Amino acid sequence: MTSAQLLKNPPEESVFGAQLSHRMASTVSAVPRAVLGPSPPTPGVWPPLDFALGSLACCAACVFTNPLEVVKTRLQLQGELRARGSYQRHYRGALQALWVVGRTDGLRGLQKGLSVGLMYQGVMNGVRLGSYSYCEALGITSFHGGSLLSGAGAGALGAFISSPAYLVKTHLQAQTVEAIAVGHQHNHRGVSDAFVTIYRRDGLVGLWRGVNGAVPRVMVGSAAQLATFTSAKEWVSHSQWFSPNSWLIALIAAMISGVVVAISMTPFDVISTRLYNQPVDEFRKGRLYHGFSDCLLKVCQAEGLLGLYKGMGPVFLRLAPHTMLSMLFWDLMRQHTVKDNQSQGRS
CB 261 within 8 A of CB 225: yes
Q: Rg of the chain over CA atoms, in angstroms?
A: 21
Q: What's residue 293's pLDDT?
A: 96
117 Cβ contact list (under 8 Å, min separation 6): 62, 66, 69, 165, 169
Q: What is the mean pLDDT of the chain?
A: 82
The predicted model gives 208-236 an average pLDDT of 85
Q: Which of 51-55, 149-153, 204-208, 280-284 has the lowest mean pLDDT?
A: 51-55
Q: Which of 37-51, 92-106, 166-180 has the lowest mean pLDDT?
A: 37-51
Provide the pLDDT confidence category of residue 99 given band limits of 50, 70 and 90.
very high
Q: What's residue 287's pLDDT?
A: 94
CB 208 within 8 A of CB 165: no
Per-position DSSP letters for 60-126, written without gaps between them:
HHHHHHHHHHHHHHHHHHTTTT--TTSS--S--SHHHHHHHHHHHHHHHHTTTTHHHHHHHHHHHHH
Q: What's residue 262's pLDDT?
A: 85
Strand partners, 286: 280
Q: What is the pLDDT of residues 55-71, one digit of tens each?
A: 888 888 899 999 999 99
Higher pLDDT, 194 or 248: 194
Using CA atoms, how far apart are residues 344 and 3, in angstroms rounded to an integer?
Answer: 14
Nearest CA-CA partner of 263 in 311, 210, 212: 311
pLDDT above 80 for 41: no
Provide the pLDDT confidence category of residue 138 given band limits of 50, 70 and 90.
confident
Q: What is the torsion angle, in degrees rounded to the nearest 10, for the CA atoms of residue 4, residue 154, residue 16 and residue 69?
A: -150
Q: What is the pLDDT of residues 323-339, one digit of tens each?
A: 777 766 766 776 678 78
Q: What is the pLDDT of residues 169-192, one digit of tens each?
A: 999 999 999 999 999 999 999 999
Percent of the chain whose predicted confidence (pLDDT) is above 90: 47
Q: Which range is most confident: 9-18, 243-252, 280-289?
A: 280-289
81 Cβ contact list (under 8 Å, min separation 6): 288, 298, 299, 302, 303
Q: What's residue 4's pLDDT?
A: 40
Q: What's residue 40's pLDDT?
A: 43
The predicted model gives 279-306 an average pLDDT of 94
Provide the pLDDT confidence category of residue 37 given band limits of 50, 70 and 90.
very low
Global pTM reads 0.78
Using CA atoms, how far apart are residues 55 and 323, in angstroms rounded to an integer?
Answer: 13
